With several copies, the nearest count.
Chain A
Amino acid sequence: MIELEVDLGGLRLKGPVLAASGTFGYGTEVPLLDRSKLAGMVSKGIFLRPRTGTPPARIVETPSGMLNAIGLQGPGVDALIRDYAPLWASWAFPVFVNLNAESIEEYGELTARLDGVPGVAGFEVNISCPNVDQGGMYFGNDPVAAGRVTAAVRRRTKLPVWVKLTPMVTDIGVVARSVEAEGADALCAVNTFVGMSIDLNSRRPRLANRTGGLSGPAIRPLAVHLAHQAARAVRIPVVGVGGIVSAEDALEFLVAGCAAVQVGTATFIDGGAIARVHDGIAAYLASNGFESLEELPRYLPRD
């Protein structure tokens, strides 16, 4: 038996493979998904108030990827606490809530509402949200704003706080360090890349929102690089995410310095993706003579 348990900044997970935010809903949607190997899940991004989301079209397929612009549609924090958290409280894996807001105060308020609610195991702070006070620029694009958001969340909870980094920055290490300094327990790298696709019939963007976030295998080499850069910049653990379909893909992130991984888009295609990735990691470790994931050598040169 290969030991796949992971220590993620003090939190013990039963394996290295989590379900990524926005690709697993609230955990209740898809009956087929094999949950036996799931180490944890991150909820769809939630705001304080309900949001209707963006008009269709919301999805465009691209080569080995997809663009999405869902607009963080969701029921708001009250409905989440009422309808989903009680279910989560009985599940065998921890559920993280993906936090979204348009101001630093709102991030804090959202955290305060959720802190202590049974079923909520921790937080993943999505800083790829437009900062309304700063003209709509993403919080995550600015190391100072990213740090402030982290501090606001940190102040309201003792639960694990993960911060999900955006790839759309000149130097992800700077943001990573800023967020680490403000008390994040772990980083998730990375969120989707901003992309656009043009419909040649209407000669307008295919997405009603004009731009969307690119996910899927297309971004994997970019995500591995960014997760690696983040891991080199900080001491807290990094959760790798972006384009993972197979165990080999996940192992690229793990070798590149990640403590765990999240699988997103792949679960849209294959309900068994997470279990398959989990089992494949175990098989790789076994056939390479490792008895636990901890023994896997990481490639993290400090130069």
Chain B
Amino acid sequence: MFETSAPLVERRQVAREVFVLGFEAPEVAEAALPGQFVNLLLRPGPLLRRPFSVYRAAESRVEIVLRAVGVGTAQLLSLELGDRVSVLGPLGHGFAIDPGWRSLALVSGGLGVAPMPITAAAARRAGVEVIWVHGARTAADLCTEWEGERAAWATDDGSQGSRGSAVAAVPEGVDGVFACGPNPMLAAIAERWPDAQVAVETYMGCGTGVCLGCAVPKRAGGYDRACSEGPVYRAADVDWPALPGHLHYAVGV
């Protein structure tokens, strides 16, 4: 875990209202594993840090992908190149790739695409074939960047790929399933692939295991910390009905 003041060095659009931001943070980039996240601090800015999955980590640069949903994300997207944020990370436990797998489906809904590029790269390095299954409301919302040999698209309105959810678009016969997206989508994943690995979203106070704010209810009882034991879980281990389905705007001014 490192804490560093990192300048913005990259900004590109990858879907309607969705942008990738790249920060120069060598130690964090070097250490980041698939499914881990960084916790960003803005000053001036909202009180708490904001967690974001590592999208890509290469050449001393950590990339994240986001849309403006509240004060912190709006402020991040208004940064100019060279502006600095405090990057804390990498944090959490990510996806575990089994090198014995032949194929791995990366299933994402909307901004759930966030942890997939770094994961796809690691899977390919491990010799695992990657199948990208990405869903969104409509074609314009689909992230235009992907890595991996095969891709399957799904849109609610059928404007690109199959009509319906990304979960339905996952081909049969894959050895592994990693998923990220709205918690209700992950619950659907859990139904079909209990052993899938899923990255959950919770509100976070600290991101470092100390506040117990990021509770993930476990089927076995009790709570885990998304920031420490998670954010990636075996799908069937999470008590989905007890996890808030949608996380919403909270701060205001």
Contact = CB atoms under 8 A, between A and B. Distances in A.
Interface string A64-90: 111010100100000000000000000
A56 B244 contact: yes
A61 B211 contact: no
B215 A56 contact: yes
A57 B244 contact: yes
Interface stretch (A18-26, A138-146, A156-164, A291-299): A18-26
Interface stretch (A29-37, A91-99, A110-118, A281-289): A29-37
Contacts of A271: 3, 88, 208
B23 to A, nearest CB: 18
A257 B203 CA distance: 26
A13 interface: no
Interface stretch (B46-54, B122-130, B154-162, B174-182): B46-54
B205 A59 contact: yes
B206 interface: yes
B26 to A, nearest CB: 17
Nearest to A268: B206
A62 interface: yes
A217 B253 contact: yes
Contacts of B207: 268
Contacts of B210: 23-25, 29-30, 267-268
Interface string A27-57: 0011110000000000010000000111111
B131 interface: no
B47 A65 contact: yes
Interface string A243-271: 00110110000000000000001011111
Given A60-B250, A268-B205, A269-B47, A55 B211 contact: no
Contacts of A68: 205, 211, 213
Interface residues of B, number: 40
Given A56-B202, A201-B248, A29 B208 contact: yes
A303 interface: no
B205 A66 contact: yes
A23 B205 CA distance: 10
A178 to B, nearest CB: 31
A58 B250 contact: no
A59 B204 contact: yes
B1 A32 contact: yes
Interface in B224-239: 228
Interface in A171-219: 197, 199-201, 206, 208, 216-217
A63 B252 contact: yes
B204 to A, nearest CB: 7
Contacts of A54: 215
Nearest to B253: A245
A57 B202 contact: yes
Most buried by B among A59, A63, A272: A59
Nearest to A217: B253
Per DSSP, chain B at the interface is: loop
Interface residues of A, number: 47
B47 A56 contact: no
B49 A268 contact: yes
B47 A61 contact: yes
A252 to B, nearest CB: 9
Contacts of A22: 211-212
B1 to A, nearest CB: 6
A302 to B, nearest CB: 25
B253 A52 contact: no
B48 A58 contact: no
B212 A56 contact: no
Contacts of A268: 48-49, 205-208, 210-211
Contacts of B41: 269-270
Interface in B35-86: 41, 46-49, 86
Interface of A: 22-25, 29-32, 44, 52-66, 68, 70, 73, 197, 199-201, 206, 208, 216-217, 220, 245-246, 248-249, 265, 267-272
28 contacts: A22-B212, A25-B209, A29-B210, A30-B206, A32-B208, A53-B215, A55-B217, A56-B215, A56-B217, A57-B203, A59-B203, A63-B251, A63-B253, A66-B47, A70-B211, A70-B215, A200-B248, A206-B250, A217-B47, A217-B252, A245-B253, A248-B252, A268-B49, A268-B211, A269-B41, A270-B41, A270-B86, A271-B88
List of 7 A-B pairs having minimum Cβ-Cβ separation, nearest first: A59-B213, A268-B206, A29-B209, A25-B210, A29-B210, A59-B203, A56-B215
